[in-house]
């Protein structure tokens, strides 16, 4: 197989500079057969019909790598993409549960424990009264049971109650789980079976998934992207009738990250520490109660780099060096890598505006794109590629690769100097 000169140049340059490189080729000719020889007409036809879709595939592939930490080995377009069935959301499930509209089975799967636990706990807490729970609530664990016992429990009739609830926690440890499909062909109407399948998901193409979707609820709980964390914070607090200032939300998002169970715990702590009558969380309150500095944090460091404010950036990294426990290098590198990777994607946005950048990066609102717009004015695409490579190199050195003794503070100082100059 031949590779064109431009692609070969990209790969050799990437290899020489230790930059991971991939290619997505749009082939417009097949020179080995007579009808496949490229002509001006055939080339125009391919460009007109496929280039836009090709670029979209490339952008989706980059997002997959950055957001989901996956590796794309091979993508093949075999025709028009088929429309996926609409997935049920957490909000829809909770809304139906509150209205006492129950399904005979809830199969809760995915990488994010938070939503799985919340749905299961809500069903356990609200479907049955305390008296009914004594005879009609069964909670078991996948490692301690088998499919036959789960089916037998689900087939029982409730005692002095309209429903019985059967919950299987840690169902990823349940052997031969696909055999549940036989029960799901005709599930017991008076049973609410809740299967909590964490840290993974079942194959949606298999019979088990088809039977669940036909007779119950199949819910996949995905990890939130970094850009979605402030939205989660606002929604969580809104349910508690509490507001949060945008800067305070960013501080929490960067300090806690995408661990939603931990985030919920920290937010509950902040709610409890609000002064009597106050319903708004501020950066000062976070500084007092969580231990994050409102002036010296990763959010402010990122802002200093965007503005190329050398003095402010150096003050922050000096503070980080003096307080390594609260400001670990790995967290800072992850935030910088995410920002500059997104900045690289922003250069490919069809529309270079707040709205266009927000759409390209999947940001919740255009105001979140303002930093990227400012950074694009101060950093070239080539410099951003070099920065991403420098962050990777710093990460490797912080783990001892090619660096037996340089402390984290010095590594960060060198990296920030390189970014700013």
pLDDT higher at 171 or 18: 171
Mean local confidence (pLDDT), 316-323: 87
Is it the case that residue 80 has pLDDT exceeding 50?
no
Is it the case that residue 292 has pLDDT exceeding 70?
no
pTM: 0.58
Helix (H) or strand (E) holding 140: strand 137-141
Report helix, strand or coil for 392: helix
Percent of all residues in the chain with a pLDDT value above 70, rounded to a whole number: 86
Q: Which CATH class is domain 298-420?
A: mainly alpha
The pLDDT, as a whole number, for residue 274 is 87
Separation between Cα atoms, residue 384 and residue 374, nearest integer Å: 13
| Residue 49 neighbours by CB distance under 10 Å | 10
Q: What is the DSSP string of 290-349?
A: T---SSSSHHHHHHHHHHT-HHHHHHHHHHHHH-TTTS-HHHHHHHHHHHHHHHHHHTT-
Separation between Cα atoms, residue 13 and residue 375, nearest integer Å: 25
Long-range contacts of 263-267 (CB under 8 A, 24+ apart): 263/229, 263/232, 263/233, 263/236, 264/114, 264/236, 266/290, 267/233, 267/236, 267/237, 267/240
Categorize the per-residue pLDDT at 391 as very low, low, confident or very high, splitting at 50, 70 and 90: very high
CA atoms within 13 A on the CB side of 44: 3
- Taking a C-beta distance cutoff of 8 angstroms, is the pair 21, 14 a contact? yes
- Taking a C-beta distance cutoff of 8 angstroms, is the pair 342, 371 a contact? no
Total residues belonging to the chain:
421
Average pLDDT, the chain: 83
Separation between Cα atoms, residue 301 and residue 314, nearest integer Å: 9
| Residue 61 neighbours by CB distance under 10 Å | 15
pLDDT digits (tens, 9 = 90+) for 347-371: 888 888 888 888 888 776 677 788 8
pLDDT higher at 27 or 299: 299
- Taking a C-beta distance cutoff of 8 angstroms, is the pair 301, 289 a contact? no
Is it the case that residue 241 has pLDDT exceeding 50?
yes
Lowest mean pLDDT among 33-47, 114-128, 164-178: 33-47
CA-CA distances (angstroms) from residue 86 to 92, 289, 418? 12, 41, 46
The pLDDT, as a whole number, for residue 1 is 41
- Taking a C-beta distance cutoff of 8 angstroms, is the pair 16, 40 a contact? no
- Name the β-bridge partners of 220: 109
Q: Where are the domains of the chain?
A: 1-28+43-72, 90-221, 227-289, 298-420
pLDDT digits (tens, 9 = 90+) for 112-161: 999 999 999 999 999 999 999 999 999 999 988 999 999 999 999 999 99
- Rounded to the nearest angstrom, the gap between the alpha carbon of residue 336 and the centroid of all alpha carbons in its chain is 17
- Taking a C-beta distance cutoff of 8 angstroms, is the pair 108, 201 a contact? no
Separation between Cα atoms, residue 93 and residue 88, nearest integer Å: 7
What are the structure tokens assigned to 220, written together? 């996949």
The pLDDT, as a whole number, for residue 84 is 44
The pLDDT, as a whole number, for residue 287 is 76
What are the structure tokens assigned to 386, written together? 């070099």
CATH of domain 227-289: 1.10.8.60
Report helix, strand or coil for 283: helix
Separation between Cα atoms, residue 165 and residue 123, nearest integer Å: 8
Categorize the per-residue pLDDT at 17 as very low, low, confident or very high, splitting at 50, 70 and 90: confident
Mean local confidence (pLDDT), 161-175: 92
Architecture in CATH of 90-221: 3-Layer(aba) Sandwich (3.40)
């Amino acid at each position: 197989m031949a590779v064109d000169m431009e692609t070969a140049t990209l790969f050799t340059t990437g290899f020489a500079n230790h930059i991971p490189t991939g290619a997505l080729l749009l082939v417009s000719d097949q020179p080995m057969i007579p009808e496949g020889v490229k002509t001006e007409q055939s080339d125009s036809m391919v460009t007109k019909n496929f280039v836009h879709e090709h670029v979209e595939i490339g952008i989706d592939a980059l997002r997959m790598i950055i957001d989901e930490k996956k590796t794309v080995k091979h993508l093949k377009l075999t025709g028009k993409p088929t429309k996926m069935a609409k997935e049920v959301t957490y909000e829809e499930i909770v809304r139906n549960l509150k209205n006492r509209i129950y399904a005979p089975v809830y199969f809760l799967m995915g990488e994010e424990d938070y939503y799985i636990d919340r749905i299961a706990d809500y069903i356990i807490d609200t479907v049955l009264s305390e008296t009914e729970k004594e005879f009609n609530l069964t909670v078991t664990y996948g490692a301690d049971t088998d499919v036959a016992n789960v089916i037998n429990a689900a087939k029982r009739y409730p005692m002095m109650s309209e429903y019985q609830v059967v919950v299987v926690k840690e169902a990823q440890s349940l052997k031969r789980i696909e055999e549940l499909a036989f029960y799901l062909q005709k599930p017991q109407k008076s049973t609410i079976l809740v299967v909590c399948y964490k840290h993974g998901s079942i194959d949606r193409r298999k019979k088990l998934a088809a039977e669940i979707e036909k007779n119950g609820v199949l819910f996949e709980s995905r990890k939130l992207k970094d850009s979605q964390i402030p939205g989660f914070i606002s929604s969580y607090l809104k349910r508690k009738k509490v507001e949060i200032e945008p800067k305070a939300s960013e501080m929490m998002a960067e300090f806690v990250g995408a661990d939603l169970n931990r985030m919920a715990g920290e937010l509950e702590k902040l709610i409890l520490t609000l002064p009597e009558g106050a319903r708004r969380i501020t950066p000062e309150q976070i500084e007092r109660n969580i231990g994050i500095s409102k002036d010296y944090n990763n959010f402010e460091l990122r802002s200093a780099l965007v503005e190329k404010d050398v003095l402010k950036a150096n003050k922050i990294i000096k503070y980080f060096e003096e307080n390594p426990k609260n400001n670990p290098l790995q967290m800072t590198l992850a935030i910088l890598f995410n920002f500059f990777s997104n900045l690289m994607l922003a250069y490919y946005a069809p529309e270079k505006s707040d709205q266009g950048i927000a759409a390209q990066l999947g940001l919740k609102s255009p105001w979140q794109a303002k930093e990227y717009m400012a950074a694009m004015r101060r950093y070239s695409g080539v410099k951003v590629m070099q920065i991403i490579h420098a962050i990777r190199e710093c990460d490797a050195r912080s783990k001892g690769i090619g660096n037996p003794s340089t402390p984290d503070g010095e590594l960060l100082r060198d990296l920030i100097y390189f970014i700013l100059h």
